[in-house]
């Protein structure tokens, strides 16, 4: 059970890139070009405990690659900024309804201008309800200015967790790239 959960937890980064929703916010008064280095502050609230070692490594390598592309180096001490990550899993249920209308015979009489004498008809309908349980995952990156300790950027990616494990090596970097597109500094070409 624990192995299954750890495999599913970070699947948010494994969802189809087109289905994931990305949000970002940042301090408009911050000059992001001054950040040349960052330190990794860790996983907030031990959310990495839900992951296996391979997934943690894939995420951190993808994150490092994205910051490297923006001219920021990962350091252990004396960083310009600090980055932390957090994962949240919500268990949700979607309910759908489909109504099938079966027409029948009808009868009606009427007069002009919308005035009618009456009418009658026969028909039926059947409504089918279905419930679908699913997991929605949210992955959050927070970046803090090291000197002021203020939050300067936050990136959030949310999506339905998929259970196909075979695609993780490709989907994690793709989703991290999609998330980092919202970072104020674009990657160098």
CATH number for the domain that contains residue 157: 3.30.160
In this structure, are 30 and 120 located in the same domain?
Answer: no
Give the count of domains, the chain: 2
Nearest Cα residue to 138 out of 7, 3, 15: 15
Digit-coded pLDDT (tens) for 31-89:
999 999 999 998 888 777 767 788 788 889 999 999 999 999 999 999 999 999 998 87
Whether pLDDT at 17 is above 70: no
**pLDDT on residue 14:** 46
The angle at the Cα of 91, spanning 1 to 175, to the nearest 5 degrees, equals 90
158 in any annotated domain: yes
In this structure, are 48 and 122 located in the same domain?
Answer: no
pTM over 0.85, yes/no: no
In this structure, are 112 and 82 located in the same domain?
Answer: no
Say if residue 83 is exposed, middle or buried (CB neighbours under 10 Å; 0-12, 13-18, 19+).
buried
What domain range includes position 18? 2-94+139-180
């Amino acid at each position: 059970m624990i192995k299954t959960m750890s495999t599913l937890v970070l699947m948010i980064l494994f969802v189809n890139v087109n289905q994931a929703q990305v949000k970002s916010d940042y301090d408009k008064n911050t000059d992001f070009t001054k950040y040349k280095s960052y330190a990794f502050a860790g996983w907030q609230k031990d959310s990495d405990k839900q992951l296996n070692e391979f997934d943690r490594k894939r995420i951190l390598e993808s994150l490092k690659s994205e910051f490297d592309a923006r001219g920021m180096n990962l350091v252990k001490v004396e960083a310009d900024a600090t980055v932390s990550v957090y994962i949240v899993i919500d268990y949700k249920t979607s309910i759908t309804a489909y109504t099938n209308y079966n027409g029948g015979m009808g009868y009606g009489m009427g007069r002009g201008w919308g005035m009618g004498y009456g009418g009658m008809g026969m028909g039926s309908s059947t409504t089918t309800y279905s419930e679908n349980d699913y997991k929605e995952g949210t992955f959050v990156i927070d970046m803090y200015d090291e000197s002021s300790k203020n939050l300067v950027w936050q990136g959030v990616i949310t999506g339905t967790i998929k259970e196909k494990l075979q695609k993780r090596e490709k989907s994690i970097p793709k989703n991290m790239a999609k998330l980092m597109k919202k970072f104020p500094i674009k990657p160098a070409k």
